[in-house]
Structures are given as C-alpha cells and as structure tokens.
Amino acid sequence: MATDVDIYVGKRLRRRRRLLGLTQQDLAVQVGVRFQQIQKYECGANRITSSRLFALANALNVNINYFFDGLAADGQPAPANDSADRLSGDILSQKETLELVRAYYRLSERPRRRLLDLAKALEDDNSDAGAA
C-alpha cells in the first residue's frame, strides 16, 4: 500500500525524468530495471529501496535529498509560502512547460537573454494593465 511519502517521491522522480526528457525506458535501462518498475515507482505503487533511490539519483543527476525536498517531518508536503510555491509543482509537471524549458536551453546565450527580457517586459506590461 502506497504511503504519502511513496507518492511524493514518485512524483519527484517523474518530474525530474520528464524535465531531462527521458522516457521511462531510458531511465529503466540506466538503473537496470524494466520500464514497468519505473511506472510503479512514479505512481507510488512500489516503494523505492535506498540503493535503488541512490541509483536513480545518479541517473537523474541530482542529490538524493532532491526526492524529499518540500516534504515536512511528518511526511506531508510542507505548506507553501505563497501561491507561486503552491503552483510550481503543477506548472513543472505540465508538458508544455517542459517543452518550453528544453527549447529555451537549446538556444544560444544571446537569444536566451533576449527571450528572457521579452518575457519580463510582457510580465511588466501585464501587471501595469492590471493596476489600471
């Protein structure tokens, strides 16, 4: 039976795998399991042993603490400080967000900087319009 911690760790696993653009099969090959096992980890159906979690952290190029970031001592997600923190998990798990991030990092530095400046300018325009 999945616990809240198992589900939380599984969601963090899925988020990082998708952010890196890896399929479940890609990740499974790297850690020596079948892709169905990755599916079970991601939905929290199967618990991840410490040695497997260590292998997953290495494959995903994160510290093992990554899987527990944002988890309170009681095993519940820590309360968010503001609405942006509450939304960040949902935003990062959306397919279009991941596609945008990947496309952004495929750009060279100058176009990336220009795109960031454009986004900030549009944000400023949007906040000015809301204040009027």
Domain CATH for 1: 1.10.260.40
Q: Are residues 70 and 98 in the same domain?
A: no
**Residue 70's pLDDT band (boundaries 50, 70, 90)?**
confident
pLDDT at position 5 is 92
Q: For every residue of 91-131, which 3-state class applies, written as one string?
A: HHCCHHHHHHHHHHHHCCHHHHHHHHHHHHHHHHHHHHHHH
For the ranges 55-59, 98-102, 124-128, the lowest mean pLDDT is seen at 124-128
Confirm whether 131 is domain-assigned: yes
Contact 77, 70 (CB under 8 A): yes
Domain that holds residue 28: 1-80
Q: Note the pTM of the prediction, 2 decimals.
A: 0.66
**Residue 28's pLDDT band (boundaries 50, 70, 90)?**
very high
CA pair distance 132, 127, nearest whole angstrom: 9
What sign does the dihedral 31-63-41-3 (CA atoms) show?
Answer: positive
Q: How many structural domains compose the chain?
A: 2
Confirm whether 89 is domain-assigned: no
